[in-house]
Amino acid sequence: MDNAVLKNSMRRIKVNKVVVNTSIGEGGIRLERAVKILSELTGQKPSIRKARKTIRGFGIRRGEPMAAIVTLRGKKAEEFLKRALAAVGNRLSSENFDELGNFAFGIKEHLEFPGTRYDPELGIIGMDVIVHLSRPGHRVSLRRLKRSRIGHKHKLTREEGIEFAKEVLGAQIG
């Protein structure tokens, strides 16, 4: 089922959004460095996320800045996704895919991105990349007015997500 030759345009699969998350575990200088690295890699300003609960064992207090997150859509999302897949050697596991065809993978060091150099002032961070795939018409389940459900035949399956990753993104599924 090649995505480019489908006659029905409503059945085409596209990258809806790519979310890049890095959890530092503490605020301050380390989080500021991570924000700078994420903004350089994505070309967008990251959003700071705060802790929801206090966990004394880890030294985490509620409301303390903990992580940085960036949501990419459109061309920026596709370009970043190609670079992120190159960072992991274009290899994904079938376990990375959920039942709706979305997938996620981790990058241990941001230095694995092609063309990235080490800066001793910034250090090294790891990140999670979450990819949400959808078909046209997915918005009807999210909009505020006249919200509707998506039929089960129109929803993506795990197998369709894997095929999209193989054919369109050029990933090797192991």
25-82 per-position pLDDT tens digit = 887 899 999 999 999 999 999 999 998 988 888 888 898 899 999 999 999 999 999 9
Q: Where are the domains of the chain?
A: 12-173
Q: Are 26 and 68 in contact (CB under 8 A)?
A: no
Q: Decide the pairing of beta strands 172-173 and 91-92.
A: parallel
What is the DSSP code string of 141-152?
A: GT-STT--PPPT
Full-model pTM: 0.87
Q: What percent of the chain has pLDDT over 70?
A: 97
Q: What percent of the chain has pLDDT over 90?
A: 67
- Supply the pLDDT for residue 2: 63
CA distance 128 to 108: 9
Q: Could you give the strand order of the β-sheet that contains 127-134, starting from the edge strand earlier in sequence?
A: 47-50, 65-72, 14-23, 127-134, 103-107
> To which CATH superfamily is domain 12-173 assigned?
Ribosomal protein L5 (3.30.1440.10)
- Supply the pLDDT for residue 114: 86
Query: Does 148 score more than 90 pLDDT?
Result: yes
